[in-house]
Structure 1
Amino acid sequence: MIQEYEPEATRRATGDTESSRASRGWWDRNADEYQTEHGAFLGDDRFVWGPEGLDEADAALLGPASGLAGLDVLEIGAGAAQCSRWLAAQGARPVALDLSHRQLQHALRIGGDVPLVEADAGALPFADGSFDLACSAYGAVPFVADPVRVMREVRRVLRPGGRWVFSVTHPIRWAFPDEPGPEGLSVAASYFDRTPYVEQDEHGRAVYVEHHRTLGDRVRDVVAAGFRLIDLVEPEWPDWNTQEWGGWSPLRGHLIPGTAIFVCERDEGPSGGS
């Protein structure tokens, strides 16, 4: 009997290419399990910003739902395109982009008329000024070594004044163990340690990578990419949500933030360039 190797968790430097390869492989391998475990919570056509369950229908971070009709919207890291289906139901014209072929197969399984694109967020295959809005619910941004590169690509494909809204793991959570119970409430690492979290195989190859940025880093990334930060939302854990999701839980969620959502607008300058 061949025993499957358990990846080793470590903190070490990793660049764009290794991070991208690891993310594509991890999501292709784990998409089935992810959709089985979280599909009911995410729904087939809901727009949920994170494990707290903040719904775009209530939050209106992209703008009033009544104003989405007719807008071209790019969803980055779309997974099974649940958010894009919600956007389409509001009359928007979404495009769902993901790095993982297997995640997009789940989007096809669920169905709908949303166009699906398999591509890297750091090299978006669209012309300058193609979209009115861009959004990402835990997609791409936490997993790339150079988030400014991704955001500059987002800026390029947005029209002047376009909104870019993305959610990531709240930076403060990196100081705590990734545990939903009481053991996850004590600081265990430096908040200021930006060394990426890496899971690697027996040959030292990264199979999962997540990059930590402080809150200030994220703000500076947004500005460096040519956006104005107009809101930073830290969703509180609602009483109705009793589920655990990795390190997220009602216990932790009532004490420390788990998600940060950045609401940004593109400046009025030309689309091209950096």
Structure 2
Amino acid sequence: MGDEGPGDEPGVSRRPVTDAEARRASRGWWDADADAYQAEHGDFLGDVEFVWCPEGLRESTAGLLGPVVGARILELGAGAAAAARWLHTREAEVVAMDLSAGMLRHAAAAAERSGVRVPLAQADALALPFRTGSFDTVFTAFGAVPFVADSAAVMREVFRVLRPGGRWAFSVTHPIRWIFLDDPGEGGLLAVHSYFDRRPYVEHDPGGTPRYVEQHRTVGDRIRELVAAGFVLRDLVEPEWPAGHRQVWGQWSPLRGRLFPGTAIFVADKPPA
């Protein structure tokens, strides 16, 4: 993550963006990048598997959603919807939702390959097209939350569509990672940014138009968003890098993973009525 401002060449910056800019950037980026993303990460994520993070933590091991048999579940930012299909095989009733038509195209293709099908919906996490109290569980693995300017509004929307007693779980890049460069090697061990700088990371075109936007919030920010929406925080999981895991995923690597966390998974409940 650099500090250069927009100029005559494509580049990166840390600067505020509007909600509309963030939405346009996310839809355009993931539509354009869907094929490359699946080519690079599809084997790791699988067609019918629930992987929370680049560390490889699986829901089959972690059980963060609790019992899922018969549960009505929504996956936000589902991408190719591998996790939704895995939950379907566990007798859950699942809907997979994503902003990107390109990613949902891969979800449909994976359904054809695997023979496991779940309903797919193209929609915005800031305006969920579901009735109040529609779901027992809502989750996302690195979807939606890091890419919207008003993530507190996402928390409120999730709270709305959950039934009383329902669960909300989401994984994001661990906030401590924002003090480092996106470098899986030794260059990524040097702190260069303030943890308290909430300006998003922006990749922009030569005219300065945002093409990729990722938001930073501190751990405290995330907890306050959850509490303000009405949730009760149940757990904050920081997966450790597994012994023998050699997968490099962007800025995630064995070198960095053995020193500090790369992922934070927040688990919260909507209080019973």
Same fold (TM over 0.5): yes
Distance (whole Å) between structure 1 residues aligned to residue 223 and residue 97 of structure 2? 24
Unaligned runs of 5+ in 1: 270-274
1:116 corresponds to? 120
Residues 7-32 of structure 1: CA deviation (Å, up to 9, x unaligned): 31001111211101100000000000
Q: Does 1:149 align with 2:153?
A: yes
1:127 to 108, 121, 131: 131
Offset at residue 243 of structure 1 (A): 1.0
Residues 57-115 of structure 1: CA deviation (Å, up to 9, x unaligned): 0000001xxx3111100000000000001100100001000000000000011113200
TM-score after normalising by structure 2: 0.94
Q: Does 1:39 align with 2:61?
A: no
Structure 2 counterpart of 1:153, which letter? E
What's the Cα RMSD here? 1.0
1:173 corresponds to? 177
Alignment map for 1:147-226 (pairs within 5 Å) = 147-226=151-230
Distance (whole Å) between structure 2 residues aligned to residue 202 and residue 6 of structure 1? 4
Residues matched between the structures, number: 262
Residues 133-160 of structure 1: CA deviation (Å, up to 9, x unaligned): 0000000000111111011110110000
TM-score after normalising by structure 1: 0.94
Unaligned runs of 5+ in 2: 1-7
2:4 corresponds to? none
Summarize the Cα distance change of 1:28–1:182 in structure 2 as closer, same or farther, 3 Å threshold.
same
Distance (whole Å) between structure 1 residues aligned to residue 105 and residue 61 of structure 2? 29
Offset at residue 6 of structure 1 (A): 6.5
1:92 corresponds to? 92
Distance (whole Å) between structure 2 residues aligned to residue 232 and residue 226 of structure 1? 17
1:259 corresponds to? 263
Identity fraction in percent: 61
Distance (whole Å) between structure 2 residues aligned to residue 218 and residue 237 of structure 1? 23
Name the SS of the counterpart of 1:68 in structure 2: coil
2:5 corresponds to? none
1:102 corresponds to? 102
Structure 2 counterpart of 1:129, which letter? G
Distance (whole Å) between structure 1 residues aligned to residue 240 and residue 9 of structure 2? 34
